[in-house]
């Protein structure tokens, strides 16, 4: 048994341990049931649960969240529209997000899924230095879907001081 201050009390009967916990107005908590004999501790269980929840919340905050952005193309996309959407994909990748690229087919376009595949292949070759293909293009009903991820960490952003410094006229 372990006391409320963390000191070792020793091997005690269950009834004696419960009585000691009640005398201190605390709880008897089994902390290592697999040990022989099992280890119990006298503590305030409500406070223990609260502190455990706080630690878990802090751990979740520190986890990196990977965002998945989606961009949709059509098989007969105009070159300017393609360039604009490619710019959006580049921006998402620079932010460190994964990008789900969807080609939407309508009506008779389903007979020409090779056009959609060409657009995805062209996008991958255009972004070869920025991105890697995470999941290859797959036909999903009327859509063809591919996921690309940034190939490396996003570049460090310049601080405000570095950006605002301009050369002074001589």
pLDDT computed for residue 9 by the predictor:
84
Q: What is the mean pLDDT of residues 74-92?
A: 91
How do residues 38-70 score in pLDDT, each as one tens digit? 889 988 889 889 988 999 988 888 777 778 889
Distance from the Cα of residue 74 to its chain's centroid: 29
Asked if the 14-62 domain carries CATH number 3.40.250.10, the reply is: no
68-150 is a CATH 3.30.110.10 domain? yes
Distance CA 145, CA 135 (A): 9
CA distance 72 to 128: 19
Angle between helices 79-94 and 113-126 (to 10 degrees): 50
Place 85 in a pLDDT band, splitting at 50, 70 and 90.
Answer: very high
Three-state secondary structure call for residue 141 = coil
Structure tokens at 97: 């997000």
What percent of the chain is modeled with pLDDT above 90? 19
Query: Nearest Cα to 119, choosing from 67, 160, 169, 82?
Result: 82
pTM over 0.85? The answer is no
Provide mean pLDDT across the span 13-19. 88
Question: What are the structural domain ranges in the chain?
Answer: 14-62, 68-150
CB of 1 closer than 8 Å to CB of 38: no
pLDDT band (50, 70, 90) for residue 96: confident
- d(C-alpha 71, C-alpha 123), whole Å: 12
Distance in angstroms (rounded) separating the CA atoms of residues 3 and 28: 10
pLDDT value at residue 153: 57
Query: What is the C-alpha to C-alpha distance for residues 91 and 83, in angstroms, rounded to an integer?
Result: 12
pLDDT for 124-163, tens place per residue? Answer: 999 888 888 888 889 888 999 999 988 875 445 544 555 5
Q: Return d(Cα 84, Cα 132) in angstroms, integer.
A: 20
- Other C-beta atoms closer than 10 Å to the C-beta of 65 total 8
DSSP for 92-126? HHHTT-EEEEEEE--GGGGGGHHHHHHHHHHHHHH
Mean pLDDT, the chain, whole residue set: 84
The pLDDT of residue 154 is: 46
Note the pLDDT of residue 72.
92
Please tell me if the domain spanning 14-62 has the same topology as the one spanning 68-150: no
- How many Cα neighbours within 13 Å face the side chain of 164? 3
Are 137 and 144 a contacting pair, CB within 8 Å? yes
């Amino acid at each position: 048994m372990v006391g409320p201050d963390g000191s070792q009390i020793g091997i005690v009967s269950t009834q004696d341990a419960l009585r000691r916990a009640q005398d201190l107005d605390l709880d008897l908590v089994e902390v290592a049931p697999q040990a022989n004999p099992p280890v119990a501790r006298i503590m305030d269980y409500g406070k223990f649960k609260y502190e455990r929840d706080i630690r878990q919340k802090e751990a979740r905050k520190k986890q990196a969240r990977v965002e998945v952005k989606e961009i949709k193309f059509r098989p007969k996309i105009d070159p300017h529209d393609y360039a604009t959407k490619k710019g959006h994909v580049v921006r998402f990748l620079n932010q460190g997000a994964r990008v789900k690229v969807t080609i939407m087919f309508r009506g008779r376009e389903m007979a020409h899924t090779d056009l959609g595949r060409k657009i995805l292949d062209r996008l991958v070759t255009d972004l070869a230095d920025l991105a890697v293909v995470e999941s290859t293009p797959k036909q999903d009903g009327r859509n063809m879907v591919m996921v690309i991820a940034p190939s490396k960490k996003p570049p460090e952003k310049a601080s405000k001081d570095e950006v605002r410094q301009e050369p002074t006229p001589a």
